[in-house]
Chain A
Amino acid sequence: MRKLIKNRNVRIALILLAVFAVVQILDTVGFIDGYIMGIIARVCINIILAVSLNLITGFTGQFSLGHAGFMSIGAYTCAIITLRYPTVLGFIIGVIMGALCAAIIGVLVGLPTLRLRGDYLAIATLGMAEIIRILFLNMEITNGAAGLIGIPQFVNWAWLFFFTVGTIIIITNFINSAHGRASISIREDEIAAESMGIHTTRSKVTAFTIGAFFAGIAGALYASYFFFLKPELFGFAKSIDVLVIVVFGGLGSISGSVVAAVLLELISSMLQSLVALRMIIYAVLLVVIMIFRPQGLMGSKEISGIMFKGVRERVQSKVRSVGKGKGGEA
Chain B
Amino acid sequence: MPVLKTEGLTKVFGGLTAVLKCNIEINRGELIGLIGPNGAGKTTLFNLLTGITLPTSGTVELEGKKIQGLRPHVICKNGIARTFQNIRLFKDLTVLDNVKIAMNQHVKYGLHSAFFHNRAYRRTEAEIIEKAGDLLNIFNLYEKRDELAKNLPYGEQRQLEIARALATDPILLLLDEPAAGMNPVETAELTELITKIRRDYDLSILLIEHDMSLVMSICERIYVLDYGVVIAEGIPEEIKSNKRVIEAYLGEEVENA
Contacts and interface: CB of A to CB of B under 8 A. Distances in A.
A180 B109 CA distance: 12
A181 B129 CA distance: 13
Give the interface centre of B52, B114, B125 by most chain A CB atoms within 10 Å: B114
B69 interface: no
Interface of A: 170, 173-174, 176-182, 184-185, 188-189, 191-200, 206, 300, 316, 319, 323, 326-327, 330
A300 B92 contact: yes
B211 to A, nearest CB: 23
Interface size class of B (residues with CB under 8 A): 35 or more
B137 A327 contact: yes
Given A178-B107, A196-B168, A188 B116 contact: no
Nearest to A176: B117
Nearest to B71: A194
Contacts of A180: 114
B117 A198 contact: no
B101 A185 contact: yes
B168 A197 contact: yes
B115 A173 contact: yes
Given A173-B116, A323-B142, A198 B88 contact: no
Contacts of A173: 114-117
A196 B115 contact: no
Contacts, number: 113
**Is chain B's binding surface mostly helix, strand, loop or mixed?**
helix
B99 to A, nearest CB: 10
Interface string B117-131: 100010011001110
A196 B84 contact: no
B190 interface: no
Contacts of A194: 52, 71-73, 76
Contacts of A200: 73
Contacts of B124: 178
B109 A192 contact: no
A240 to B, nearest CB: 26
A181 B90 CA distance: 11
A198 B111 contact: no
Given A179-B111, A179-B114, A194-B52, 11 more contacts: A173-B116, A177-B113, A177-B114, A177-B125, A184-B97, A185-B90, A185-B101, A193-B90, A194-B71, A198-B73, A330-B137
